[in-house]
Amino acid sequence: MEIAIIADIHGNVLALDAVLADIAARGITQIVNLGDVVSGPLWPRETLDRLADIPMPTVRGNHDRWISQGDPTTLGASDSFAYQQLSAAQRAALGALPVTLDIGDGIFAFHATPDHDNRYLVEVVRGGALVRDAVTGIAGRLGKTNARIVLCGHSHNPQLLQLPGGPLILNPGSVGCPAYEDPDGDAHVSEAGSPHARYAVLSLDGDSASVEMIALAYDWNEAAARAEQSGRPGWAQGLRTGHMPAT
């Protein structure tokens, strides 16, 4: 059995189309979506329209929650853009998404950590960047689980690691946002290092699990131009390069 794992689309329907086309070409019919579907200065409404007729288990990300439940007058620029583009029904549907999902076959899915949608599971902030933490820290944030495979997103960093005595942890990376800056709290950047659209294929054969991490070319220059039209030059550079502007 093969399952496509996608996360952190962030309204980039061009990257999403490339990923969905690749999934279809591989004959994969099961997709799991790890949240943060629309936030960003790109195509939030078009992204939801594209996903509307595709059955896929989806968990709620932190930006999905903020857009659906937050005060529109206090939202950040990316969330505010998406909020204005979406209908009330679309925002409500984002808010109704589950925080965690049991996919079956010992697979447990959530956006960030099981009990917090805005906390990194695998990474910590050091020197203004995200780096993989020690396994003790990761295990502590994960908490007790009987899952054999854990799926998470949020950091936009592709990650695959086996916790000793615990589950395999998979973060497929971001479909549509390869780099971002988070100025809040312990300010940092996340940079994939290239502009490709990322996802993963999880292959299950009995107790055995294999993972293919995939990076796809698409028209990231068009996506970057859209960000520039929305007044977001930092987003545009991240989309074109996978790196944020130097500060």
The architecture that CATH gives domain 2-241 is 4-Layer Sandwich (3.60)
Task: List C-alpha distances in Å: 109 to 54, 75, 90, 246.
Answer: 18, 26, 22, 34
Quote the mean pLDDT of the chain.
96
Residue 60, both tokens: 């709620």
pLDDT tier at 247 (50, 70, 90 boundaries)? low
Please spell the DSSP secondary structure of 180-235, one letter per residue.
EEE-SSS-EEEE-SS--EEEEEEEEETTEEEEEEEEE---HHHHHHHHHHTT-HHH
- β 208-216/107-110 pair status: unpaired
Where are the chain's structural domains?
A: 2-241
* Residues linked to residue 3 through DSSP beta bridges, in sequence order: 30, 202
pLDDT tier at 20 (50, 70, 90 boundaries)? very high
The 10s digit of each residue's pLDDT in 143-192 is 999 999 999 999 999 999 999 999 999 999 999 999 999 988 788 999 99
Q: Is the pTM of this model over 0.85?
A: yes
